[in-house]
Chains A and B, each alone.
Chain A
Amino acid sequence: MSDPETIVASASQTVGPFFHVGPARTDHLGRMASADTPGEAMHLRVRVLDGDGAPVNDAMVELWQADARGAFSARPAAGEAPPSFSGFGRLATNDDGWCTFETIRPGAERGAEDVHQAGHFTVCLFMRGLLRHLYTRIYFAGDPALQTDPLLGLVPEARRHTLLAHPCADGTTWEFTVRLQGDGETAFFDL
């Protein structure tokens, strides 16, 4: 129902295929952490596949994450320098549908009301063919805190595995695949 005291929101529109001339002009937003950032350094490789299983080579992937202690960085006051670790990352996928973030492993958050979340990345996904962006989360396979995470608990049990990143042999790289449709379709959230 329309509320007479409100004004209509701007509609979402697709990011289109040419965002590289604007928001994804460089890949420096993929380097979220430096050698000085406290925490466990890791690479997060994200791959995006369409309904045919074909790589999406024109997706824009944004990440938000907490720091190693599980705290989100506060917004800097106007004119103030940002923190060295902001927890925000953004990359375009390459021809094979991959992008790789250099970051640190997010800590588990201890929020209000004793809500215990598992360490995770929040993802916003934009691409040609998405009139609205998609929200999802990336968790770590094998994390015991998955059992109590309140958002993961909202996902039908048979689909929870679609939100897990898996470790690579090098011990510091984790991989996550977004499947937009079909078998193993990634669970997306409506916030």
Chain B
Amino acid sequence: MTDRRALEAGSQPPLLYPPYRSTVRRAPAQPLVQVPERLVDLAAPMYGYLPIDELDNDLTRQHSGEPLGERIIVAGRVLDEDGRPVPHTLVELWQCNAAGRYRHWRDNHPAPIDPNFSGGGRTVTDAQGNYRFLTIKPGAYPWSNHDNAWRPAHIHFSLFGRSIATRLVTQMYFPSDPLCAYDPMYQSIPDERARLRLVSQFDLSLTQPDWALGYRFDIVLRGRHSTPFEGRV
């Protein structure tokens, strides 16, 4: 008997969201096949294991020199919807450099590549669900979705959690970014509380004096829950 329960409605974007143009030819047109709760546990247990090196959570020390840009600490907790920490789970992130350029063959934005910044990192949460990265603040960059389209500065996150149903790829945004109001990816999330969940908070207590600004970003994975009153069949 599984104790899984559905994600709260409104917290997740739809598959088809025409303002984000690429969804139009890539979102499935047929309805998804609903898997009843009693069968979800068959869908595959899962853990994400990748070997982690000591410096994998420090994106500023992957090259001989230091990357340009504003050093930031990004840290927080991975929780489930019941507020319980998710320990020992893999957290991966990737991002562009301070000028808004990915070190990627398909990124032709005419902003400089930083030879000292690759933009990928990973870590594992501790027993209390905490994670921490040192990186540089990513820049905004233009994209071709619509006229004068710019992505707000963001960091991509990938997480595993306790089962295949908790797999999550998301993005972290920065506080008070005016570009979020125009960004179809951010705006695709129906519930305002859920949109704000993806906005990190500046945190002076996380800020390391004379070194790096701190941004707190908690990540909430789908919960497990044993109450029999959910009413799902």
Contact = CB atoms under 8 A, between A and B. Distances in A.
A23 B194 contact: no
A169 interface: no
A13 B106 contact: no
B72 interface: no
Q: How big is the B interface, by class?
A: 35 or more
B156 A16 contact: yes
Interface string B7-37: 1100111110100101111111110111110
Interface centre among A2, A9, A12, A111 (most CB of B within 10 A): A9
B137 interface: no
Interface string A85-122: 01010000000000000000000010110010100001
A113 to B, nearest CB: 8
Contact of B42 (A56, A78, A111): A111
Interface in A125-158: 126-135, 150-151, 154-156
B43 A11 contact: no
Contacts of B222: 9
A172 interface: no
B45 A72 contact: yes
Interface in A1-41: 2-3, 5-23, 25, 29
A15 B197 CA distance: 18
A190 B43 contact: no
Contacts of B214: none
Interface string B141-166: 00000000000000010100000110
A67 interface: no
B74 interface: no
Contacts of B12: 9, 11-12, 132
A124 B195 CA distance: 24
Contacts of A154: 33-36, 39
Interface residues of A, number: 72
Contact of A189 (B35, B96, B121): B35
A21 B104 contact: yes
Given A12-B169, A22-B92, A189-B32, A130 B219 contact: no
B211 interface: no
B185 A131 contact: yes
B198 interface: yes
Contacts of B118: 21
A129 B29 contact: no
Given A12-B169, A132-B15, A150-B39, A181 B25 contact: yes
B198 A10 contact: yes
A88 B46 CA distance: 8
B187 to A, nearest CB: 11
Given A19-B94, A122-B43, A131-B15, A182 B169 contact: no
B222 to A, nearest CB: 6
Interface in B203-233: 219-223, 225
22 contacts: A3-B8, A7-B220, A8-B8, A10-B197, A13-B185, A14-B22, A17-B104, A18-B104, A18-B156, A23-B120, A50-B25, A72-B44, A75-B47, A86-B47, A128-B22, A129-B20, A129-B24, A129-B26, A131-B13, A132-B12, A187-B30, A187-B33
Interface of B: 7-8, 11-15, 17, 20, 22-30, 32-36, 39-50, 79, 81-83, 88, 92-94, 96, 102-104, 106-107, 118-122, 127, 156, 158, 164-165, 167-171, 185, 188-189, 191, 193-195, 197-198, 219-223, 225
Given A18-B96, A64-B164, A109-B42, 8 more contacts: A3-B8, A9-B197, A14-B20, A15-B158, A21-B120, A22-B119, A133-B167, A181-B28
Interface of A: 2-3, 5-23, 25, 29, 50-52, 56, 58, 62, 64-65, 72-73, 75-76, 78, 82, 86, 88, 109, 111-112, 115, 117, 122, 124, 126-135, 150-151, 154-156, 159, 180-182, 185-191
